[in-house]
Every structure is written in structure tokens, then in C-alpha cells.
Amino acid sequence: MTSSAPPGLARFNAVADRAAAGLLHEVCASRAWGAAVAGGRPYATVGELLDAADVAMAGLTAADLAEAMAAHPPIGRPAPGDAASAREQSGVRDAERAKLLELNLAYQERHGQVFLICATGRTGEEMLTALRERIHHDADTEREIIRTELGKINRIRLTRLAETLRAPRAPAEGER
């Protein structure tokens, strides 16, 4: 492990397989993706972790992508208590929220899933524009765009995980 690696990455590398699976499930709900990323530990750098995540994303089947998508709330309506979604969708203004939800419903009707976009750094208007364009895509085109967008989301979340993962709390006296 290089000294430039964030301490959270060392902690991620050191956790038990079950704990790693749980952490990765918070990043991406695809079990196949999580197993592939966890199976590549230890990672010497965040770059290696992100590269492994990209390779795992490229290998997901349509069913694996659907599993990952099922955990994502609609754009404009982050799941209650989901700090990651709320943070990622912070560019949506109240005035855009209703239109995003309306178009998301039309997208869901056409594609059978929520509209997925890496919202970090995008305005609500940018997401509306993308939604208006993508609603007309065929299933294969949309699946590959989803793969790309999901990969971006995973990279952001993994980077945050590697930078912020704290050491587990030691049990207090009498908790064992």
C-alpha cells in the first residue's frame, strides 16, 4: 500500500468479505458488481479500485444492470434518508422537480425502469434535457447509456468511500 492512498482504502481492503459486500452494496446494488470489486482486494490505490469497478461494470448482464437500477430512486425524488441520492440530486430546483417526475414516469412506462443519470454536478435543466432525449432511445442504446451513467455514479461513491471509511468502533467494556 502506498503512503498516498487514503486511509479509508486501507480500511476497505482490511474489512471482512461480508462487510466489504455490504459497503459495496451501498455503492451499487448489483451483487455481481460487488462480488467482482470485493474479489479484487486489496487495492494499492483508489485508481486501481476505480479501474476494477469499471471492469466489473462492463461485465454486467442486463439482469445485473436491472438489479442495480432497482435501488435508484427517481431523479427529482431522492429516497427519504438516502444522503447519497440527496447529495447527488442537489442540482435540482423545486421548479424542475415536478417536470422531472412527470417525464420520469413517461420514461418508466416506456423503458420499465427509472431514468438513471449521474446527477452530480448537473443542473436540473441538464437532466431534463437528457431525459427528453433518452426517452426515445431503443432498449439496447439506453442500456449502454445506463451502464455508463451507473459507472460514473459508482466511481463517485467509491472515491467517497475510500476517502471517508472509518475504522470500526471497538466494542465498549461489556459489549462483547
Residues 84-106: pLDDT tens digits? 555 555 556 677 788 888 899 99
Q: What does the pLDDT read at residue 115?
A: 92
1 within 8 A of 10, measured Cβ to Cβ: yes
Phi and psi at residue 119, to the nearest 5°? -80, -20
Q: For 25-70, write each residue's pLDDT tens digit.
A: 999 999 999 999 999 999 999 999 999 999 999 999 999 999 999 8
Confidence (pLDDT) at 5: 77
Alpha carbons 45 and 38: distance in angstroms, whole number: 14
| The model's pTM | 0.82
**pLDDT tens for each residue of 109-150:** 999 998 999 988 888 889 999 999 999 999 999 999 999 999
Q: Which pLDDT band holds residue 1 (cuts at 50, 70, 90)?
A: very low
Lowest-pLDDT choice from 27-41, 74-88, 159-173: 74-88
Domains of the chain: 7-164 (1.10.3330.10)
Whether 10 shows a pLDDT value over 90: the answer reads: yes
State residue 124's pLDDT score. 84
Conformational region of residue 76, where left means phi above 0, alpha means psi within -120 to 50, and beta covers everything else = left
Contact present, 150 and 68 (Cβ < 8 Å): yes
Instruction: Look up residue 22 and give its DSSP letter.
Output: H
pLDDT band at 2 (very low <50, low <70, confident <90, very high): very low
Residue 105, all three cell numbers: 414516469
Is the pLDDT confidence value at 176 over 50? no
Task: Give me the pLDDT at residue 101, please.
Answer: 86
